[in-house]
C-alpha cells in the first residue's frame, strides 16, 4: 500500500477527470490517494518520501496551465535534489500544436534533474486522436499501480 499525491494542472478539466479516475483505480488497488487541484510546494513536501503522480495538460506554446505553475516554480526554486521521490507523469496535449505535451514533459525533465526516480514511462495523451483521455490513462494507471 502506497500513499500517492496526485498533482493536477488543467485548463478545462480534462486532466482533473483523468486524475479522478486514476485515484479511483489506485484506491481500488488498496493505495491511499489525495488530489491537489491547485497544488503548492507545501502540498508536495510530504510526498518527497512517498509517491507523486503529476497529471497535467499543456497550454500556450508548450507551457504548464496556471494552476500548476506555482508548484513547478516552487519545486525548481526551493526543493532541489529529491532522490527519494518516486513519481509518474501523465501529460495531456494535442499533436496539432507544436511542443506536443510540453507541459508534462517539462515537469518530468525537472524531476529527472533533481534525481527523482520515475516509475514507468511518461504517458502522453493526444486530444486530437483521443477525445476521451481516460480511455488512454486508465489502462496506463492500472499498469503503473503494479510497478509501485
Between 10 and 82, CB nearer to ligand FMN: 10
Question: Does residue number 82 form part of the binding site for ligand FMN (CB under 6 A)?
Answer: no
- Residue number with the shortest CB distance to ligand FMN? 93
Q: Count of CB atoms within 10 A of residue 146's CB? A: 8
Contacting range for ligand FMN; rule: CB under 6 A; set: 4-12, 35-43, 45-53, 71-79: 4-12
Report, in Å, the least distance between residue 87 CB and ligand FMN: 19
Given candidates 53, 89, 92, 105, which one binds ligand FMN under the rule CB under 6 A? 92
C-alpha cell at 74: 516552487
How many other CB atoms are found less than 10 A from the CB of residue 96?
Answer: 10
Among 33, 48, 59, 67, binds ligand FMN (CB under 6 A): 59
Question: Minimum Å distance from CB 24 to ligand FMN?
Answer: 17
- By CB under 6 A, is residue 99 in contact with ligand FMN? yes
Give the closest residue to 53 by CA, choosing from 71, 78, 73.
71
Site for ligand FMN in 16-55 (CB under 6 A): none
Q: Given the rule CB under 6 A, which residues bind ligand FMN?
A: 10-15, 57-62, 65, 92-94, 97, 99-102, 127
Amino acid at each position: 500500500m502506497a500513499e500517492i499525491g496526485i498533482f493536477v494542472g488543467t485548463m478545462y478539466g480534462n486532466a482533473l477527470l483523468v486524475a479522478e479516475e486514476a485515484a479511483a483505480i489506485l484506491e481500488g488497488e488498496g493505495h491511499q490517494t489525495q488530489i491537489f487541484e491547485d497544488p503548492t510546494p507545501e502540498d508536495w513536501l510530504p510526498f518527497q518520501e512517498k509517491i507523486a503522480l503529476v497529471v497535467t495538460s499543456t497550454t500556450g506554446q508548450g507551457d504548464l496551465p496556471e494552476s500548476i505553475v506555482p508548484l513547478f516554480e516552487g519545486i525548481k526554486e526551493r526543493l532541489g535534489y529529491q532522490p527519494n521521490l518516486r513519481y509518474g507523469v501523465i501529460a495531456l496535449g494535442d499533436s496539432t500544436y507544436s511542443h506536443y505535451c510540453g507541459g508534462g514533459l517539462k515537469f518530468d525533465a525537472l524531476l529527472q534533474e533533481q534525481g527523482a526516480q520515475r516509475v514507468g514511462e511518461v504517458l502522453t495523451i493526444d486530444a486530437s486522436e483521443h477525445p476521451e483521455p481516460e480511455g488512454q490513462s486508465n489502462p496506463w494507471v492500472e499498469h503503473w499501480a503494479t510497478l509501485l
